Structure 1
Amino acid sequence: MIQNGLHRLFVLLLLLTTILNACASFKPCPEGDKKKADNNMQLGVEYLRRGRNDIALDKLKKALNQCANHAEAHHAIAVLYERLGEDDKAKPHYQKALTFNTQNSDVHNNYGQFLCKQKQWEEADKHFLEALKNPTYGTPEIPYTNAGLCALHNNNFAKAETYLRKALQKNSQFPRALYQMAQLNYEQKNYKQARYYLQRYTEIANHTPKTLWLGIRIERIFHNQDTEASYALFLRRNFPDSEETQLLNQSETP
């Protein structure tokens, strides 16, 4: 009985210590440190945008040294580590960013994309939906499209179509959603619909190697040689070193 009582006391003390440590971790940073961290975070994000990953990493590390609870800095460094292919370092920073700001839709969306690449389909889906819970979020078409693309990677065509349609309901001219709907319909052999969505895409956005290669394959189905040739010429002329140009060349090899 005494041993059981001591064990329970130990568990309670351990739990109390954990709670106190958690509370301490949420303690706001001193105002001076927060301002310094804000400045380094903003510099880090700017260098990240410029592709200067080395300087960005240095600035973001400084920001977190100055304020360990800085949600935006955790988010930015997670994105940077993911860009560098260091997913083992990115994941805990995504989690900390959400710990310190649970309602940040951008973090939920980016973490969802990260989890999707890890093939953690259900967890990714949860975070895309969390991103959409914020009624003031200005671009809901983005997490809807990412959720659709993730479902597409998981070969869940029905869920992918549902999400992509919702994305287009929010923004009927969102290029990524239009392209993904074209791709989805092509995969399902709905070639007229695939052409329809690709045409809508071309009305508002510039062609990429992916959209041109999709267009080539669609026009081949309809034996529309002129449009197919036009797409092929555009692809070879503007993206000669792309993977899609290689696929085109391979497809024309006897």
Structure 2
Amino acid sequence: MKFATVLSLLSVLVLTACETTQTQTTTNAVTDGITVTDDKTNLKDAAEKRLALGMGYVQRGLMERAKKNLLMAEKHAPDMPDVMFGLAYYYQKVFEFDKAERYYQKALDMDENNPDYMNAYGAFLCTSKKDYEGAVKYFLKAVDQPEYIAVGESYENAGFCSIEAGDHEKAELYFKKAMTFNPRLTKPLYGLALMSFEANEYNKAETYLLQFEGKSKPSADSLLLGYKIGRRLNDRFSMESYGEKLIQLFPRSEQARIYKRMSS
């Protein structure tokens, strides 16, 4: 399952390290070229820089450095919601889900109408906590925020989470809403193809998958689904085509291993 979650928000947070702050009386100097004074403005500036460093390290997979910087950001500015969000995302990435949930809740307590936090927390609840009903609730809360622009992505997320919950009727509704708000989205087409396949509607599944392929690069999931559809339709050419592409593009993937077992 693919979620549109926090990448845009991460990029915003990382940009906070663009400027440096000049200080005269320094009470505590730390590494990474960041100085801290007792001035509240300087503490906030230092926290933003630590947050940016920490999130950058998370993206690069340097988790020990990420944790150090994010905890220092919290020390400098314990009332900054973006810092709470950063720690939540860090703990989610290192599979400390209870801590992640606490920090997501702190971020939302501090900025309760932030749709980016709602969307990210919904993705966390769906993928990490398996709380599908709670996740969809937060996706829908995000789209209800008047100034939120990533409405299509949140509906897309709600669709995939509804598939996990086994509610295909709602998933179909959310996918169609996602494409209405953002026609450039392609993953809802894959979701509709997957649901059609699971409902034994193989021709319908093939139609949705072809629409997906016309707008997006193939993924390991889509290629395996294409092979499965071809198999159900007894389309030997389609089976061979999807299988060869899967092995060529994603030779070490779990989907390739599944294909090899199915085709052997």
**TM-score bin (small chain):** 0.7 to 0.9
Q: Which of the two has greater helix per residue?
A: 1
Inter-partner Cα distance in structure 1 for 2:263 and 2:49: 54
Inter-partner Cα distance in structure 1 for 2:174 and 2:251: 34
Which of 67, 87, 111 pairs up with 1:57? 67
Instruction: With the length of structure 2 as denominator, give the TM-score of the two structures.
Output: 0.81
User: Which residue of structure 2 aligns with residue 79 of structure 1?
Assistant: 89
User: Which residue of structure 1 aligns with residue 196 of structure 2?
Assistant: 185
Instruction: Give the conservation status (yes or no) of the 8 Å contact 2:132–2:164.
Output: no
User: Which residue of structure 1 aligns with residue 227 of structure 2?
Assistant: 216
Instruction: With the length of structure 1 as denominator, give the TM-score of the two structures.
Output: 0.84
Which of 124, 130, 153 pairs up with 2:141? 130
Write the letter of the residue equivalent to 2:222.
Answer: T
User: Which residue of structure 1 aligns with residue 57 of structure 2?
Assistant: 47
Residue 192 (structure 2) pairs with residue 176 (structure 1):
no
User: Which residue of structure 2 aligns with residue 139 of structure 1?
Assistant: 150
What displacement does 1:132 show?
A: 0.7
Cα RMSD (Å): 1.5
Residue 137 (structure 2) pairs with residue 121 (structure 1):
no
User: Which residue of structure 2 aligns with residue 252 of structure 1?
Assistant: 263
**Secondary structure of the residue that 1:103 maps to in structure 2?**
coil
Write the letter of the residue equivalent to 2:157.
Answer: N
Inter-partner Cα distance in structure 1 for 2:159 and 2:195: 10
Inter-partner Cα distance in structure 2 for 1:172 and 1:122: 26
Inter-partner Cα distance in structure 2 for 1:176 and 1:62: 38
User: Which residue of structure 2 aligns with residue 18 of structure 1?
Assistant: none
User: Which residue of structure 2 aligns with residue 229 of structure 1?
Assistant: 240
Instruction: Give the conservation status (yes or no) of the 8 Å contact 2:195–2:205.
Output: yes
Structure with more relative contact order (C-alpha pairs < 8 Å, separation 6 or more): 2
Which of 146, 167, 171 pairs up with 1:160? 171
Inter-partner Cα distance in structure 1 for 2:160 and 2:52: 30
Write the letter of the residue equivalent to 2:261.
Answer: Q
User: Which residue of structure 1 aligns with residue 254 of structure 2?
Assistant: 243
Inter-partner Cα distance in structure 1 for 2:207 and 2:66: 42
User: Which residue of structure 2 aligns with residue 104 of structure 1?
Assistant: 114
Write the letter of the residue equivalent to 1:210.
Answer: D
Aligned residues, how many?
A: 225
Inter-partner Cα distance in structure 1 for 2:208 and 2:184: 11
Inter-partner Cα distance in structure 1 for 2:86 and 2:254: 30
Runs (4+) of structure 1 exceeding 6 A deviation are none
Question: Gapped runs of 5+ residues in structure 2?
Answer: 1-38
